[in-house]
Amino acid sequence: MIDIQNVTGGYHQKAIIQNLTLSIETGKFYALIGPNGSGKTTLVKLITGVLPIQEGTITLFDQSIQSYSASARAKIMAVLSQEVHVEFDFLVEEIVMLGRYPHQTGFFKYPSKKDHQVVEEIMKQTNVFQFRKQPFKRLSGGEKQRVLLAKALAQEPKILFLDEPTNHLDMKHTVIMLQQLKEYQQSRQLTIVAILHDLNTAALFADQIGLLNEGKLVETGDLSILQNEALLTSIYEVDVKTNHHPVLPKPQVSVIPNQREQDVFDIEYDFTETDRYIHLEFNGKLRTISNSVLGEGLQWTKNFCNFHVDKNYNCSCPKNDIINWLREAGISEFDTAGMMTAVNLKDRSIIEEKFGDVSILAVLTAGVGNAVDITAKQPVDLGFSIGTINIMVFIDAHLTDGALVNAVQSVTEAKTKALIDLKIKDPNSGTLASGTSTDITLVAATQNGEPTPYAGSGTVIGKAIGRTVYKAMIEALQKYKKRCEQQL
């Protein structure tokens, strides 16, 4: 354990770190974060004994830092700094072997068989073995950083200090390095103290966080510190928004610059309709929530497409199919929500309404051949099916993520009310249907105006959504019914 009690210290009697108390558990990955000049590097130099402590105490494994000799400290601590400057033109394997120096004995300290084994293993694990016979100076900045990491790990330390370890690394090698360090940490009970400026990197790899500002420890604890938007905004003096990683249960921080994309005034769009697809292209990206085949979840989206497919369409690769269709149509797949339906696109309904200051556009295709009562007992089909009721709702308003979820609820309530009023039944149970087995719902907001956190059925926006969707549902289902009757 690293135990820091009421420590003050700095340079030339100037106190950078002031009365700081902190404990770092053995075997943890502890990230030090904070603005430039907050004292992160100074704190590491105090812990490692590079700088003298003016007041307070620091103990490593229950022993005062001052009681360790330089060689004893080198056996338990290693430091990887941002600096990659080396005076002499050593070979890579010679640089890494320097990490074994604290463990070598004898007057001349010749490398032992174990030293060579450790160095070779570490070089392979850090992916620098192929450079072993190359001069260190000829390597790129990122390659040099990986060599210096290998040198630090060759010390077999109990504590590893990292000062911006990924500063010279690209995305791939940043991930590789930090994943390797996590494996070392977990398999060898290695304690890692890392200075990191990238808060999202800290969130992905650290176990605990320490936030410094002006030489003081503002906050320490788990990753929830990175969810405190008010605290981060105050310390970094820039607006931030926190969300969660889309795959891992980790917070991620987005900086909100003092600028906005050009407003999408009202709901302005180009509408293209063929026998194959409906395409709405807006003059700016909209904040979108959906269960579309392509572009699902929360997104920023500009193109919205509903493709017609045969009712016997092979559903093995629906997302790939939509991407291919988009490319054939010359539409980008990267800012597009795509869905598909077996309903004839001529039976679509487009309703545009204005309720006070709120403009709503609903674009809807609907069929009820696979209508279901969600409460009825019947077999569950886990496979993908073609969308039947596809609802796209566009709102000229600024909705928070919570309000977008509210809006989806409002759409669903209006859809179900229309099905009930038209007495649409589940053919298997004979009871009134609540939807179809393959419904797709999409809500998109221009994000104009002041943010609103609510869009449920008790709000103006929720009511506007409900009335517009209900009207579009009735119109589309009447067209569907008429076409079915004509085909009999």
All structural domains of the chain with their residue ranges: 2-255, 269-487
Q: What is the pLDDT of residues 145-196, one digit of tens each?
A: 889 899 999 999 999 999 988 877 888 888 988 998 998 899 889 999 999 9
Average pLDDT across the chain, whole number: 90
Cα separation, 113 vs 475, whole angstroms: 83
Cα separation, 241 vs 352, in Å, equals: 33
What is residue 216's predicted lDDT score, i.e. its pLDDT?
96
- Report d(CA 260, CA 460) in Å as an integer: 26
Q: Residue 250 has what pLDDT?
A: 95
Q: What single-letter DSSP state applies at residue 284? A: E
Q: Pick from 85-89, 135-139, 294-298 the range whose average pLDDT is largest.
A: 294-298
The CATH architecture one would assign to domain 2-255 is: 3-Layer(aba) Sandwich (3.40)
> What architecture is domain 269-487?
4-Layer Sandwich (3.60)
pLDDT category at 382 given cuts 50, 70, 90 is very low
Q: What is the mean pLDDT of residues 44-68?
A: 92
What six digits make up the tokens of 360? 């709503």
In the chain, how long is the greatest CA-to-CA distance? 101
Same fold, 2-255 and 269-487: no
Are 203 and 226 contacting, i.e. CB atoms less than 8 angstroms apart?
A: yes
**Could you please report the per-residue DSSP string of 268-329?**
-EEEEE-SSEEEEEEEEEEEEEE--SBS-EEEEEEEEEEEE--TT---SSHHHHHHHHHHHH
Tell me how crowded residue 460 is: count the other CB atoms within 10 A of its CB. Answer: 15
